[in-house]
Amino acid sequence: MRTLLLLLAPFFATAAMAQSPTPIAVIADKGPHSDHVQTLVEEELQKSGRFTLIERERVADVLKEISFQQSGVTAQNQAAEIGHHLNVKQLVFLQMHRVGSDYHLSLKVVD
């Protein structure tokens, strides 16, 4: 958990400048333990008090609608459209990769 906090620290610093909580959505690619890690990231963002999280169900509905409208769409390629539909200022894309016996977490924050 401490490593996760260190990874998110620069992100928290940017959000600290905002007067009110920043609307944000976390989108996780399917991968090993991605649901668990997404939950950990969401919990840390929520605990900071600097963000208003969009529910996973709403995010899933928007992604489904956009991919239905435009086949072949990937979430990261459509960040602006997804952000617009969710009415958020930032999106966090989360990817988990397994390399041998190690797991690697990639976070991409899009304004």
Q: Report the C-alpha gap between 99 and 66 in whole angstroms.
A: 32
pLDDT tens digit sequence for 41-50: 999 999 999 9
Q: What is the pLDDT of residue 58?
A: 95
pLDDT, averaged across the chain: 82
**What tokens were used for 109?**
């924050």
User: In this structure, what is the dihedral angle of CA atoms 65, 68, 71, 73, given to the nearest 10 degrees?
Assistant: 10
pLDDT band for position 97 (50/70/90)? confident
pLDDT tens digit sequence for 1-43: 456 555 665 655 555 565 789 999 999 988 778 889 999 999 9
Q: What is the pLDDT of residue 45?
A: 92
Burial of 26 (0-12, 13-18, 19+ CB in 10 A): buried
